[in-house]
Amino acid sequence: MTHSAPLPRSLHLEEFTPLVGQALLAECDPRPVMLHLVEASPLVDRAGLARPPFLLILRSAPDAVLVSGSYVLRGDAFGPDRIDLAQIAPPVAGAPGHYYQAVFN
C-alpha cells in the first residue's frame, strides 16, 4: 500500500483491550491482510517500567501468512500504528489460521 509511515509513539494496553475480538488490517503487498485481535494481556513488570508491558495475540485466516516483521496496523478505532509481529504456534483449541504475537516492554 502507498500510505505514509506513521510516526512512532508509545502504545498502551488500554488502547487494545476494547478491540479484542475485532479486526485490524495489516498493510502489506500485494494486498492488506485482515488480523483478528484474539488477546490483549498485561505482562509482569519486573523492571518498574514507565509503561507496563503487555502482549497482543492476533490471528490471520489460514490462507494468509505474514512473515515476522513490522507492519502498519489500522482498524475502525485504531491506528495507523507500526507494530512488530512474530509468528507463533497456534493454541491447541484455537480457531484455524496463523497466529502472531506483539510484545510491548
pLDDT tens digits, residue range 4-15? 678 778 899 999
The C-alpha cell that represents 8 in the structure block: 512512532
Question: What mean pLDDT value characterizes the chain?
Answer: 92
Task: Give the CA distances from residue 58 to residues 2, 4, 24, 28, 75, in Å, rounded to whole numbers and listed in that order.
Answer: 23, 23, 9, 16, 13
- 2 within domain boundaries: no
- Does residue 6 fall inside a structural domain? no
In a domain, 3, yes or no: no
pTM of the model: 0.90
**Among the listed ranges 15-19, 22-26, 81-85, 89-93, which one has the minimum average pLDDT value?**
89-93
User: Is 1 within a domain?
Assistant: no
3-state SS assignment for residue 95? coil
Q: Per the structure, how many domains does the chain have?
A: 1
Question: Is residue 4 included in any domain, yes or no?
Answer: no
For residue 32, being part of any structural domain is answered with yes
Whether residue 85 is contained in a domain is answered as yes
Task: Compute the average pLDDT of residues 54-79.
Answer: 95
Query: What residues make up the domain containing 52?
Result: 13-104
